[in-house]
Every structure is written in structure tokens, then in C-alpha cells.
């Protein structure tokens, strides 16, 4: 089920999403060999707080297992939701950063995967195909289409390039909650 938003709600969601994107850009400015994932987390948290918002991920989860950081950061073979720590980025790493904001009660959430310095041709191809599949999915997000049309466009793009999709995770809506409907699988 898709939750319809008012124009006023969309305005606030857009504002939070813009802040999340801006915070993500701040992190990207600091992606370099030698920096720890925890240092990137602190940069993100400071930036979000400085702009009057809260890190959406910090404190997220059930009572005894709340997430303790402001970003999720996954390196190389780690799929998603990696926990910041003392690990240092190295030349040739592929780093995925997921960041969320809560601004005035509305959530923004965005992610990106980038290289640290030079990467190999296979890794570069993976990044290119991933980006292409995202835009193919966006092209299908039009009135009259179904969520499966978006999902199929993503899967088809990825598999035509001899990669595979992760079936356990989905894209999702945002609004008054961090994870809202619709859920958009990467296959369909």
C-alpha cells in the first residue's frame, strides 16, 4: 500500500531529504585512504546536529538493540548496514554509506556507493551497473506503472551485465517514519 502525502508533508519530507543529501556530500568530501569509519560517522552526526536535525539511525531499533551510530557504512563485500568503527579505509575499497535525518518530525534517507581512490575494472563496472539500474528503475516510476515494473527494470539491468541483485533488502518510502511503504524490491 502506498501512503499518500499532502503537499505540506511533501515539503517537509523534501527538506529532510535535502539535508540528508547535503550531509552525505559532507561525508564524501572526507572519504580518503586512512580515515576510519567512526570518524566519518562523527562528521555526519556533527553536520546533522549543526543543521537542527537528528540522525535518523541513531537509537533506531528495539530497546535492547538500538543502533548507536548516525550512518551505516559497508566496505567491499559487506552488503548493507555496516557499523562504524576503527576500520580504516584503504585505496581500492568500495564504500557504501547510508544516512538518514529527522528534521521537524520528517525523515530523509539516502545512500551512495563510492570508490576510495583507484579501483579495479570489475569494481568499476559494478558501480556503473548499480547506478544505471537505479536510473532505469526511476524511469519506470510513473503513473500507471506498478512497483513490479520498477523492480523488474532494476533486476533486468543488473542481470544483463552478469551481476545479481540482493533480494533480502528493499528500497522504501519515507515520511513520518524512517521506513514506510512502499517497499521496492530489486527484483520483480
Q: Using one digit for the tens of pLDDT, what is the confidence trace for 31-72?
A: 999 999 999 999 999 999 999 999 999 999 888 889 999 999
User: What is the residue extent of each domain of the chain?
Assistant: 1-118, 120-188
Does the structure show a pLDDT above 90 at 23? Answer: yes
Average pLDDT value over all residues in the chain: 96
Predicted confidence (pLDDT) per residue in 125-169, tens digit: 999 999 999 999 999 999 999 999 999 999 999 999 999 999 999
What is the CATH code of the structural domain delimited by 1-118? 3.90.230.10
DSSP for the chain reads: -PPP--HHHHHHHHHHHHHHHHHHHHHHHT--TT-BHHHHHHHHHHHHHHTT-EESSTT-S-GGG---SSEEEEETT--S-PPP-SPBP-TT-EEEEEEEEEETTEEEEEEEEEESS---HHHHHHHHHHHHHHHHHHHT-STT--HHHHHHHHHHHHHHTT----SS-EEEE-SSSSSEEEEEES--
**Single pTM value for the model:** 0.93
Amino acid at each position: 500500500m502506498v501512503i499518500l502525502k499532502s503537499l505540506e508533508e511533501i515539503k517537509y519530507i523534501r527538506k529532510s531529504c535535502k539535508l540528508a543529501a547535503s550531509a552525505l556530500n559532507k561525508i564524501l568530501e572526507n572519504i580518503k585512504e586512512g580515515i576510519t569509519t567512526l570518524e566519518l560517522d562523527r562528521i555526519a552526526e556533527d553536520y546533522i546536529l549543526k543543521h537542527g536535525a537528528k540522525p535518523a539511525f541513531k537509537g533506531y531499533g528495539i530497546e535492547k538493540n538500538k543502533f548507536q551510530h548516525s550512518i551505516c557504512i559497508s566496505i567491499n563485500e559487506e552488503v548493507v548496514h555496516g557499523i562504524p568503527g576503527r576500520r580504516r579505509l584503504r585505496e581500492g575499497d568500495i564504500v557504501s554509506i547510508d544516512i538518514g535525518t529527522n528534521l521537524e518530525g520528517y525523515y530523509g534517507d539516502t545512500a551512495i556507493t563510492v570508490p576510495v581512490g583507484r579501483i579495479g575494472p570489475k569494481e568499476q563496472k559494478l558501480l556503473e551497473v548499480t547506478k544505471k539500474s537505479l536510473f532505469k528503475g526511476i524511469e519506470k516510476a510513473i503513473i500507471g506503472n506498478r512497483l513490479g515494473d520498477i523492480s523488474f527494470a532494476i533486476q533486468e539491468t543488473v542481470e544483463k551485465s552478469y551481476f545479481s541483485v540482493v533480494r533480502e533488502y528493499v528500497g522504501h518510502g519515507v515520511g513520518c517514519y524512517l521506513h514506510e511503504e512502499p517497499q521496492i524490491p530489486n527484483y520483480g
